[in-house]
Amino acid sequence: MSQQCIDPIVGKILAGWRYDISGLAPEMRGDYENHFASCEHCRSRQQIHRIIDVGLIVLASVSAGVFLLAFGVIRYLGPRHALLLEIAALAGFALSALIWLGVAVATPAPVTMLDAAKQGARRVHDKLPEEIRQRLPEELRIKITGT
Other Cβ atoms less than 10 A from the Cβ of 105: the count is 9
Q: What range does the domain containing 138 cover?
A: 108-147
Cα separation of 57 and 61, whole Å? Answer: 6
CA 91/CA 106 separation, integer angstroms: 22
pTM of the model: 0.69
Question: CA-based angle 60:62:64, to the nearest 5?
Answer: 70
| DSSP E strands, the chain | none
How far CA 71 is from CA of 33, 43, 89, 100, 130, in Å, comes to: 46, 42, 5, 19, 50
Q: How confident is the model at residue 1 (pLDDT cuts 50, 70, 90)?
A: very low
Q: Kindly report, residue by residue over 31-69, the tens digit of the pLDDT.
A: 888 899 999 999 999 899 989 988 999 999 999 999 999
In a domain, 50, yes or no: no
Assess if residue 117 is contained within a domain.
yes
Highest mean pLDDT among 22-26, 54-58, 115-119, 138-142: 54-58
- Residues whose CB falls within 8 Å of the CB of residue 24, separated by 6 or more in sequence, listed in order: 32
Question: Which of 15-19, 88-92, 111-115, 121-125 has the lowest average pLDDT?
Answer: 111-115
- Domains of the chain: total: 1
Is 146 inside any structural domain? Answer: yes
| Mean pLDDT along residues 3-16 | 87
Q: Which tens digits make up the pLDDT trace of 108-121?
A: 877 777 777 888 88
d(CA 71, CA 49): 33
pLDDT number for residue 2: 53
Q: Is residue 112 part of a domain?
A: yes
Radius of gyration of the chain (CA): 22
